[in-house]
Amino acid sequence: MISLNDCDPGFKFEVAAEPGGAGIKACFACAACSARCPVAGHREEYDPRRIIRLTLLGRREEVLSSPLIWLCSACYSCQEVCPQQVRFTEVLTAIKNLAAKAGYAPPSAKQIAGLLAGHGRLLAVTEFENEKRAELGLPAVEERGADYAAILGIAPEAAEAGEEA
């Protein structure tokens, strides 16, 4: 049972204020999103409509700390079938951004900024890669990690450390 005393009535407004989050207020709970979701087909505990309901009810901690919100594959199927233009893929991105700010991002998500700041790509481009490319007649590619480090506010030394993490 959900006690309204445990709910944060401001949570839905917090989500709606994030980029892409505004659509949540239009949900009328038809569950087209849940029916079309390929993740829900494999994991019944992952239910987009339920995540929307819990958010509208104000179950802030329950939603932000739930490992389920990281199971969206961002395929946009729900978004295509939604009759209310809730844009659930984008709403969930807004929710995940809030969860990350609250410290709930999974370890795999945390490594990404370090890699980008170090290499400007998720994968390093070493001499070995460029030799292989040259053998096939492909032009060399360069790493521009410094730009990414500047955007992300990460010092180059910290970027190296992030890579090890």
Partner 1 sequence: MRALLFLGCTVPVRNLNYELSARKVAEALGVELQDLAEFGCCGYPLKSTDQDKALVIAARALAQAHGSGLPLVALCSACAGTLAEAEHQLAHHGELRAKVNQQLAPLGLAYEPGVKVRHFMRFLLEEVGLEAIRAKVTRKLEGFSFAPHYGCHYLKPSEITGGFDDPEDPRSLASFIEATGAQAVDYASMKECCGGGVLGADEDLASAMAGKKLAELDAKGVTALALICPFCNVMYEGQQKAIGKKLDLKLKVPVVYVTQLLGLAMGLSPDEVGLKLNRAKPKELLAAFKS
Q: What is the DSSP string of 66-109?
A: -GGGGG-----HHHHH-TT---HHHHHHHHHHHHHHTT---HHH
Distance CA 39, CA 48 (A): 10
Whole-number minimum distance, CB 4 to partner 1, in Å?
A: 30
Distance CA 133, CA 24 (A): 46
* Identity of residue 157: E
Instruction: Give a three-class secondary structure readout of 14-66.
Output: HHHHCCCCHHHHHCCCCCHHHHHCCCCCCCCCCCHHHHHHHHHHCCHHHHHCC
Helix orientation angle between 145-152 and 156-164, rounded to the nearest 10 degrees: 100
**Residue 65 or 73: which CB sits closer to partner 1?**
73
**Residue 57 or 93: which CB sits closer to partner 1?**
93
> Which residues are at the interface with partner 1 (CB under 8 A)?
18-20, 38-39, 42-43, 67, 70-77, 79-80, 87, 89, 93-94, 96-97, 100, 105-106, 108-110, 112-113, 116, 119-125, 129, 132-133, 136-139, 141-145, 147-148, 150-152
**Residue 7 or 163: which CB sits closer to partner 1?**
163
**Residue 5 or 108: which CB sits closer to partner 1?**
108
Whole-number minimum distance, CB 1 to partner 1, in Å?
A: 29
**Residue 57 or 148: which CB sits closer to partner 1?**
148
